[in-house]
């Protein structure tokens, strides 16, 4: 991450970054590795009026050491999972404001193992010299975070030394203030899938990130909330499956705008017992009898796969291993992942990775590794996100010669970034294209049928991009064709068209 003047950017695979909107004058430019594997770096940068400022930076890699955290926790909820929340990506930080402004996700934090002596312990590989802030939590670092006996949030810090280290800590209390803890117990439908995890989501001033509950067996789940109840009077909560609150909800509190159930804090401990009658998208159905049919075997090399939907939330990565197992069980031989960058605006053009909306490089690489571990072939299909619709993006863009030059430069960086990711992660194919690109193709048109004003040499520009992608990635390079029934799409640059919505480049 590179930041200056309150503006930040995530570098691409070539180390390039773009900071838009900086005021003229001297800025302190800071380079920070999200996982700490490169040492932080800062220097001054002079930004001139109405001119682009080029800055070249060099950062040093940091070796990893084993850091063992060992903690004594209050014996209030014996066996409950204790996590570590911190300022590095390894400790659950996603470097983005998610629901209600929270930037840590419980499912992305290390879970500590209960030891025979009643203490909790976990070992994490951390980079030498990294400045680490951390806390212990039964939730996500805000809910059920450790507190000092005086009622304040506890926050610990250290700098990772050059050798392995063993850290011993003690949590003074989970509770904040005089408000007594609240135990939430819920019974869920028998139709709940065996692999599903029930989550609870709290709303003190807006829905926060959901937190996994603790299984009790026999379709019962529990979660004991200690704090920060001293900050609340009444608040709301609801249940959902697999962290997908707002989608896989308790039917009684479904949707992003649902009010939820209400609870009030008290000086006396509370035990709330609820029942979820039905889940959204999980209706009870009677068994169905299928009539068998003769199935014609496909020839060798036939591509049978599943493409991931083109949306993303940081807590979804926790469920990726289960997803690829299910895909393999279908008999598929391919999985298509859809990492993304975001068009923040069309003028001046801003296109890059937006934390919280787009998966980090590391997240995508792990997903590829998990699928390859299940003997699935992997294709990466990088897609853009738009704050509005793609049609509005193209319509509102200046689309003059300078803008088009900038746009092709940004798309080239986008394509090369994911070509590098495909090569380094072991993917078998890279898919470019998509219907959103139609205005940028030779003779491109806007949604209303008028010319997009794409440069006359667009064909040559696309051929150059595809050729450079091939220099970075030796696997299959495919092009996704926009297809309307009855109308065969135009042949893309440097690609041999096939009777499919994909063609080989």
For 427-460, write each residue's pLDDT tens digit: 999 999 999 999 999 999 999 999 999 999 999 9
**Per-residue CA distances from 52 to 16, 22, 44, 173 (Å):** 14, 10, 15, 52
> Are 359 and 427 in the same domain?
yes
Q: Classify burial at 247, counting beta carbons within 10 Å of its beta carbon; exposed 0-12, middle 13-18, buried 19 or more.
A: middle
- The answer to whether residue 284 sits within a structural domain is no
Query: Per residue in 228-248, pLDDT tens?
Result: 988 778 999 999 999 999 999
Cβ atoms of 394 and 439 within 8 Å: the answer is yes
CATH number (domain holding residue 80): 2.60.40.10
> Are 352 and 495 in the same domain?
yes
CATH number (domain holding residue 478): 3.20.20.80
Cβ atoms of 202 and 229 within 8 Å: the answer is no
CA–CA dist 215, 453 (Å, integer): 59
Chain length of the chain: 505
What is the DSSP pairing of strand 156-159 with strand 131-137?
antiparallel
Locate 60 and state its tokens: 């040093």
- pTM equals 0.89
Q: Residue 324 is part of which domain span?
A: 305-504
Q: Give pLDDT tens digits along the chain (505 positions).
A: 999 988 899 999 999 988 888 888 989 989 988 888 888 888 888 888 877 888 888 888 999 999 999 999 998 888 899 999 999 999 999 998 888 788 899 999 999 999 999 999 999 999 999 999 999 999 999 999 999 998 899 999 999 999 999 999 999 999 988 899 999 999 999 999 988 999 999 999 899 999 999 999 999 999 999 989 887 789 999 999 999 999 999 999 999 889 999 999 999 999 999 999 999 988 766 667 777 777 787 888 888 999 999 889 998 999 999 999 999 999 999 999 999 999 999 999 999 999 999 999 999 999 999 999 999 999 999 999 998 899 999 999 999 999 999 999 999 999 999 999 999 999 999 999 999 999 999 999 999 999 999 999 999 999 999 999 999 999 999 999 876 665 555 556 666 555 456 666 6
Place of tokens 């649902």: 258
The residue ranges of DSSP E strands in 265-346, in sequence order, are 270-275, 305-307, 334-337, 340-346
Domains of the chain: total: 4
> Are 110 and 205 in the same domain?
no
> Are 115 and 201 in the same domain?
no
Which of 95-108 are b and which e, b meaning 16 or more Cβ less than 10 Å from the residue's Cβ?
A: beebbeebbbbbbb
> Are 75 and 41 in the same domain?
no
Cβ atoms of 45 and 30 within 8 Å: the answer is no
Cβ atoms of 493 and 459 within 8 Å: the answer is yes
- The answer to whether residue 164 sits within a structural domain is yes
Which of 248-278 are b and which e, b meaning 16 or more Cβ less than 10 Å from the residue's Cβ?
A: bbbebbbeeebebbebebeeeeeeeebebeb
Selection from 205, 203, 242, 247 nearest residue 225 by Cα: 203
> Are 348 and 446 in the same domain?
yes
């Amino acid at each position: 991450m590179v930041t200056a003047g309150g503006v930040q950017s995530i570098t691409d695979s070539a180390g390039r970054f773009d900071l838009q909107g900086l005021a003229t004058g001297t800025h302190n430019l800071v380079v920070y590795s999200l996982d700490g594997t490169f040492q932080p770096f800062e220097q001054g940068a002079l930004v001139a009026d109405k001119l682009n400022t080029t800055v070249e930076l060099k950062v040093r890699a940091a070796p990893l050491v084993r850091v063992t955290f060992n903690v004594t926790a209050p014996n209030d909820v014996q066996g409950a999972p204790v996590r570590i929340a911190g300022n590095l990506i390894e400790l659950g930080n996603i470097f983005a404001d998610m629901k209600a402004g929270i930037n840590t996700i419980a499912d992305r934090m290390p879970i500590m193992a209960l030891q025979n002596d009643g203490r909790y312990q976990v070992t994490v590989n951390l980079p030498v010299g990294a400045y680490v802030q951390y806390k212990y939590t039964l939730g996500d670092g805000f809910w059920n975070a450790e507190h000092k006996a005086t009622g304040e949030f506890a926050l610990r810090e250290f700098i990772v030394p050059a050798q392995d280290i063993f850290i011993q800590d003690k949590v003074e209390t989970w509770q904040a203030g005089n408000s007594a803890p609240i135990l939430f117990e819920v019974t869920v439908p028998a139709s709940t899938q065996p692999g599903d995890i029930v989550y609870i989501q709290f709303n003190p001033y807006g829905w926060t990130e959901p937190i996994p509950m603790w299984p009790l067996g026999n379709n019962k789940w529990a979660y004991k909330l200690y704090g920060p109840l001293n900050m609340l009077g009444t608040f709301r909560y609801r249940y959902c499956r697999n962290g997908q609150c707002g989608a896989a909800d308790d039917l009684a509190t479904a949707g992003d705008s649902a009010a939820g159930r209400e609870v009030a804090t008290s000086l006396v401990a509370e035990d709330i017992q609820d029942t979820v009658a039905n889940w959204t998208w999980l209706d009870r159905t009677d068994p169905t009898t299928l009539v068998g049919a003769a199935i014609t075997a496909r020839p060798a090399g036939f591509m049978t796969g599943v493409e991931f939907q083109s949306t993303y939330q940081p807590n979804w990565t926790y469920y990726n291993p289960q997803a690829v197992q299910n895909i393999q069980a279908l008999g598929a031989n391919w999985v298509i992942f859809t990492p993304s960058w975001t068009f923040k605006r069309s003028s001046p053009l801003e296109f890059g990775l937006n934390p919280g909306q787009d998966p980090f490089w590391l997240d995508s690489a792990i997903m590829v590794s998990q699928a390859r571990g299940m003997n699935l072939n992997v294709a990466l299909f990088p897609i853009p996100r738009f704050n509005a619709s793609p049609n509005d993006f193209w319509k509102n863009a200046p689309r003059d010669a300078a803008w088009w030059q900038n746009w092709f430069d940004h798309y080239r960086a986008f394509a090369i970034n994911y070509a590098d990711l495909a090569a380094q992660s072991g993917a078998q194919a890279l898919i470019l294209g998509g219907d959103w690109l139609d205005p940028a193709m030779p003779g491109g048109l806007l949604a209303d049928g008028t010319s997009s004003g794409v440069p006359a040499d667009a064909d040559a520009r696309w051929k150059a991009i595809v050729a450079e992608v091939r220099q970075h990635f030796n696997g299959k390079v495919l092009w996704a064709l926009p297809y309307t029934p009855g109308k065969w799409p135009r042949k893309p640059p440097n690609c041999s068209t096939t009777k499919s919505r994909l063609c080989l480049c």
